[in-house]
Structure 1
Amino acid sequence: MKKYRPVGLPSFFVLALGLLFFQGSSVRTDFSEKNQPADATNRRNARNTETGRTAAGDSAQWAFPCDRKTIERYTAYRTAKPPVIDGKLDEEIWTKIPRSPRFVDLVSGNNTIHDTRAAVCWDNENLYVAFWVEEPFINAKLTNHNDPIYTDNDVEVFIAGKDTYYEFEINSFGTRYEAFFIWKEAYEKGGYDQNPIFALSNPNVKKFNGVGYKHHPRGLRYGSWDFRFPGLQSAVHIDGTINNNKDRDRKWTVELAFPWKGMEWIAKADNRALPPKNNDNWRIDFSRFNTYKEAAPADDHGGWAWNSHRVWDSHVPECFPIITFSNKTR
C-alpha cells in the first residue's frame, strides 16, 4: 500500500503532532510486557494487585473499557496425558485442574442465571480448553462452517498475540465459526499482507472496527474469515435432548485442542515461544452468548464472560483474562 509523507509542515503543526505523539505514548495496551518468564515482574504484579497500583508504568493512562483490577488471572498446568477430544470431559485432568469462576455478564459484570465455567491445560502439542455450560433448554440451528454462530447459543475463545488475535465459536451442534484479526498498523510491517489468506484482495478479508467499542486506541483491524486453524479438534457433548423443549436439559460441554503449530501467525509479532515457556503470559478470552436473556429486572445483556469487558464487545484483547503457563503437571 502506498504511503504519503507530508512535506514542509508549518512549525505549529509539528508542535501539535509532537504533543499528540507524547500523549499517545502514555496509553498502555498491556501487551508491552513481553510474554516471557520474568519472576521479578510476576512478583511486582502480585504486589500491585494487592495494593491497587497499576503494573508496569503506574502513571500510564488506562484507555480501555474494562476495570483493569478485575481482569482475571489463571494458571494453566501441563497435562501428562492428553485428553480425548470427545466433549465428555471425563478425563482425570479436567477434575484435577482449577475451573474458572462462574461467568459474569459481559457488560455489567453482574451474576448470571446459568452457570458457565472454563478450564485450560496444555502439553507440548496442544492448548486444551473445556467449557461446562448449564442450559435447561439446549437449542441450535446453524450447521455450516462460519454460519453466524453468535446468533445461536454458543461459547467462544479468543486467543491474542501482540498484533493479532484469533476468534473461535461453537454451538451445541458442534458447528464452528473462525476469524483472524490483524491490527492495521501492523498489517504491512508484520508481513501479514504477503499471505493470501489475509490479503486485502481476498473477498473474505474485510475491514473491522469492533462491535460495541468503536474507538479502540489501536484503531482499525483487518479480519480474515478465510482462516482455518490448522489441526484444530473440537467436540460437544449434550447432557439432555437438543431442540426438544418439552423436557428439561442439564448442560452441554465443549472440548477443544488448538495445536501450537497452528499459532505461528499469533506468535509472529513478538516471536513468542510455541509451546510457551514456564511462566509465559498469554491473553485468552472465554465467553458465552445466548439468544435469550434473563427476565427483568435482571440486567442481562445475553453475553457472559470469564471477566467483564464493561462494553458489548469481545474484541478488546486488553480485557482478556491473563493465562500463565506452568510447567507443573496435574
Structure 2
Amino acid sequence: MHYIYFMLAAMAGITTITAQGQTRPAPQSYMCNRAGKAISIDGKLNERSWKKAAWTSSFVDIEGDKKPLPLQETRVKMLWDDQYLYIAAQIDEEHIWAYQDRKDQIVYLENDFEVFIDPDGDTENYYELEINAINNTFDLFLPKTYRKGGKAQLKWNIQGLKSAVSVNGTLNDARDKDKRWFVEIAIPFESLSTEHVKPVIPADGSEWRINFSRVNWQHDVDQQGHYSRKRNAETGKVIPEYNWVWSPQGIINMHYPEYWGKLLFRDEEVGNRSNADKPRQVQ
C-alpha cells in the first residue's frame, strides 16, 4: 500500500471497521527521514536535522473522540540513521515534577512520556520505554500482549539507549508555572532484540508499528512544596490519570499493538523534498 494513502487517510480521519463491527480511527502515520548529521542527545533539539523534521499532530485522548482533547499539548518528531531511531518529544506542562530516580521504578506512577515499538508489526515481541522529567527510565519487553498471557520482562534493558531531558521551567517547584519539557532519545536498532528475537533493521520503505503515550496526573502540593497525585477528598483514592496519545487506541489500554500508528522509513535526508510527492511502496 502506498505511503500517500496512509498520510491522506490519517489527515482525513478515515475510520476502519473492526471484526466486532466497531468504528475505529485509522492509525496515524509518520514519514521518518534520515538525519543529515550525527545527533547529540542533550534534550535541546538544536541540530539542523531536528529543525527540518516535521512534528506529528498533537496528542489526543487515548479513547479518541470519546473524550475531550488534552488540556496541554504533546507532539513528537523522529529521525533515523544506520544505528539509531531518534525520537524527540515536546511536552507542555504548567507544573513539571518528578521524583522517581531509580532505574526501572514504575515511572508512570508520576507524569511521564512513553514509547511503544513493534518493529515487525505482528503484535508480538514488542518494547516499551517510559521516561520522566528527570530522565529516569523504565523499559520492558513483552513477547505477547497481556490479554494473550504475556508477562512483561522487566529485567530486559535497551542496551546503548541514549536519552536526555531539558526543562523550560523550574522542576519540582510549585511556586510558579512552567512551560514545557523536551525529551530526546536514541534507540539502537540492535538493542530491540532478545536472545530469542533478532533485531529488525529498517531500510527504505520499511514499516514499523509505534505509538506514544503521555501519562498526566492531577496533583496536590503539601506544605513543604512536594507534589503528589491528587486524591478524591471523600474516598481518599488517587484520581485516575489522563492518558494522551499520538494515535488513539479507542480504549484505555496501550497494549493493543494493532491499534498503534505506522512509522514509515524513508532513505532520504530530512528536508530533501525532491521526491516528496511520489508514492512509496511500503513492504
TM normalised by structure 1 equals: 0.67
* Corresponding residue of 1:280: 206
* Corresponding residue of 1:149: 107
CA distance in 2, matches of 1:87, 1:44: 31
Q: Which amino acid aligns with 1:101?
A: S
Report how far residue 277 of structure 1 moved. 1.2
- Asked if structure 2 preserves the Cα contact closer than 8 Å seen for 1:65 and 1:309, the reply is no
CA distance in 1, matches of 2:128, 2:51: 27
Query: Structure 1 262/47 Cα, relative in aligned 2: closer, same or farther at 3 Å?
Result: closer
* Corresponding residue of 1:197: none
* Corresponding residue of 1:172: 133
Q: Which of 147, 150, 155 lines up with 1:226 in the alignment?
A: 155
* Corresponding residue of 2:45: 89
Query: Structure 1 44/157 Cα, relative in aligned 2: closer, same or farther at 3 Å?
Result: closer
CA distance in 2, matches of 1:284, 1:228: 18
Q: Which amino acid aligns with 2:2?
A: N
Q: Which amino acid aligns with 1:70?
A: A
Aligned identity (percent) is 28
- Asked if structure 2 preserves the Cα contact closer than 8 Å seen for 1:240 and 1:248, the reply is yes
SS in 2 for 1:318: helix
Larger helix proportion, structure 1 or 2?
A: 1
SS in 1 for 2:151: strand
SS in 1 for 2:87: strand
Query: Structure 1 142/278 Cα, relative in aligned 2: closer, same or farther at 3 Å?
Result: same
* Corresponding residue of 1:20: none
Query: Structure 1 266/136 Cα, relative in aligned 2: closer, same or farther at 3 Å?
Result: farther
Report how far residue 229 of structure 1 moved. 0.6
* Corresponding residue of 1:238: 167
CA distance in 1, matches of 2:212, 2:158: 17
- Asked if structure 1 preserves the Cα contact closer than 8 Å seen for 2:168 and 2:179, the reply is yes
Are 1:311 and 2:251 counterparts? yes
Report how far residue 108 of structure 1 moved. 3.8
CA distance in 2, matches of 1:233, 1:306: 22
Query: Structure 1 246/283 Cα, relative in aligned 2: closer, same or farther at 3 Å?
Result: same
CA distance in 1, matches of 2:162, 2:100: 19
- Residue pairs, 1:310-329, within 5 angstroms: 310-329=250-269
CA distance in 1, matches of 2:248, 2:96: 24
Are 1:62 and 2:25 counterparts? no
CA distance in 2, matches of 1:306, 1:47: 14
SS in 2 for 1:252: strand
- Asked if structure 2 preserves the Cα contact closer than 8 Å seen for 1:142 and 1:175, the reply is yes
Q: Which of 254, 262, 268 lines up with 2:191 in the alignment?
A: 262
TM normalised by structure 2 equals: 0.78
1:11-44: CA deviations, max 9, x gaps? xxxxxxxxxxxxxxxxxxxxxxxxxxxxxx2279
Are 1:134 and 2:92 counterparts? yes
Report how far residue 134 of structure 1 moved. 0.5
Larger strand proportion, structure 1 or 2?
A: 2
CA distance in 2, matches of 1:51, 1:250: 30
Q: Which amino acid aligns with 2:188?
A: P
| Bigger Rg over Cα | 1
* Corresponding residue of 2:2: 42
1:207-237: CA deviations, max 9, x gaps? x73xxxxxx5xx2212100001110001110
Report how far residue 82 of structure 1 moved. 2.1
Query: Structure 1 226/63 Cα, relative in aligned 2: closer, same or farther at 3 Å?
Result: farther
CA distance in 2, matches of 1:285, 1:48: 19
- Asked if structure 2 preserves the Cα contact closer than 8 Å seen for 1:140 and 1:173, the reply is yes
Gap runs ≥5 in structure 1 = 1-40, 55-59, 184-207, 210-215, 294-299
Query: Structure 1 263/61 Cα, relative in aligned 2: closer, same or farther at 3 Å?
Result: same
Question: RMSD over aligned Cα, in angstroms?
Answer: 2.9
CA distance in 1, matches of 2:180, 2:21: 34
* Corresponding residue of 1:158: 116
The size of the alignment, in residue pairs, is 244
SS in 2 for 1:223: coil
Q: Which amino acid aligns with 1:169?
A: E
